[in-house]
Structure 1
Amino acid sequence: MVPAELYKTVPPAFGHDVLALFGFNPNYVNLNHGSYGSLALPVRAFCDELTDEVESNPDKFVRIDCIHYWNRVRERVAKLIGAETDECVIVNNTSHGLATVLRNFIFKEGDILVGATTTYGSMHQMLKYIADIPPYPVLSTFNLQFPTSRAKIIQDFEEHIKKLTETGDATGERKIVALIDSIAGHPGAFLPWREMVAICRKAGVISVIDGAHSIGQEVDLNLSEIRPDFWVSNCHKWLFSKRGSAILYVPKRNQHFIKSPIPSPVTYHSPHDSDYQGPQDFVRLFEWTGTIDYVPQLSIGAAMDFREWLGGEHKINAYTHALAIAGGKRLAERLGTNVMDPDGEFTLNIVNVEIPLSGDVESTDEVLRIFTHTLILQWQTFAPPFRHNKKWWVRCSAQIWNEISDFDVLANALKDACSKVEEHVAQRNN
Structure 2
Amino acid sequence: MGEIRTHRDDPEENSNHIHLPKKPKLSSFITQSQIQQEFAHHQHGVARLNNGSFGSCPGSIIAAQKRWQLKFLQQPDDFFFNQLPTQILRSRTLIKDIINADDVSEVSIVDNATTAAAIVLQQVGWAFAEGRFHKGDAVVMLHCAFQAVKKSIEAYVTRAGGSVIVVHLPFPIKSNEEIISEFRKGLARGKANGRKVRLAIIDHITSMPSLIIPVRELVKICREEGVSQVFVDAAHAVGSVSVDVKDIGADFYVSNLHKWFFCPPSVALLYCRKSSLSSSELHHPVVSHEYGNGLAIESAWIGTRDYSSQLLVPEVIDFINRFEGGMDGIRDRNHEAVVEMAEMLAKAWGTSLGSPPEMCPSMAMVGLPSSLGVLSDGDASRLRNHLRDQFKVEVPIHYQPLKDTAAAEEVEGGSADFITGYARISHQVYNTIDDYLKFRDAINQLLHDSFNCKMLPYPS
Give the alignment's TM-score, normalised by structure 2: 0.81
Once the two structures are TM-superposed, the CA of residue 423 in structure 1 deviates from its matched residue by: 3.8
| 1:6-405 pair list within 5 angstroms | 10-13=28-31, 18-22=35-39, 23-83=41-101, 84-105=103-124, 106-107=127-128, 108-134=134-160, 136-148=161-173, 149-165=175-191, 167-169=193-195, 174-205=196-227, 206-219=229-242, 221-256=243-278, 258-269=281-292, 280-311=293-324, 312-341=326-355, 343-357=356-370, 361-365=374-378, 367-390=379-402, 391-405=420-434
Once the two structures are TM-superposed, the CA of residue 400 in structure 1 deviates from its matched residue by: 1.3
Farther off after superposition, 249-258 or 368-377 = 368-377
Distance 1:369 1:386, change over 3 A: closer
Distance 1:95 1:422, change over 3 A: farther
Once the two structures are TM-superposed, the CA of residue 21 in structure 1 deviates from its matched residue by: 1.2
Once the two structures are TM-superposed, the CA of residue 55 in structure 1 deviates from its matched residue by: 0.8
Distance 1:223 1:142, change over 3 A: same
Question: Deviations for 1:237-266, whole angstroms, at most 9, x for unmatched residues?
Answer: 000001110000001112327332111221
Question: Deviations for 1:3-58, whole angstroms, at most 9, x for unmatched residues?
Answer: xxxxxx833345x7622211212312211111101010111111011111111011
Distance 1:240 1:138, change over 3 A: same
Mind listing any 5+ residue stretches in structure 2 that lack a counterpart? 1-26, 129-133, 403-419
- 2: CA distance, partners of 1:427 / 1:290: 46
User: CA contact under 8 A between 2:375 and 2:401: conserved in structure 1?
Assistant: no
User: CA contact under 8 A between 1:329 and 1:339: conserved in structure 2?
Assistant: yes
- 2: CA distance, partners of 1:30 / 1:425: 22
Once the two structures are TM-superposed, the CA of residue 131 in structure 1 deviates from its matched residue by: 4.6
- 2: CA distance, partners of 1:296 / 1:416: 41
Distance 1:423 1:155, change over 3 A: same
- 1: CA distance, partners of 2:67 / 2:219: 41
Amino acid at match of 1:372: R
Once the two structures are TM-superposed, the CA of residue 62 in structure 1 deviates from its matched residue by: 1.7
Amino acid at match of 2:422: W
User: CA contact under 8 A between 2:29 and 2:322: conserved in structure 1?
Assistant: yes
Once the two structures are TM-superposed, the CA of residue 369 in structure 1 deviates from its matched residue by: 4.7
User: CA contact under 8 A between 2:166 and 2:186: conserved in structure 1?
Assistant: no
Question: Deviations for 1:109-168, whole angstroms, at most 9, x for unmatched residues?
Answer: 12211122211122223223445413x211110011212210121122123213423642
User: CA contact under 8 A between 1:330 and 1:404: conserved in structure 2?
Assistant: no
User: Is the aligned partner of 1:408 residue 2:437?
Assistant: yes
- 1: CA distance, partners of 2:401 / 2:358: 18
- 1: CA distance, partners of 2:377 / 2:271: 37
User: CA contact under 8 A between 1:150 and 1:345: conserved in structure 2?
Assistant: no
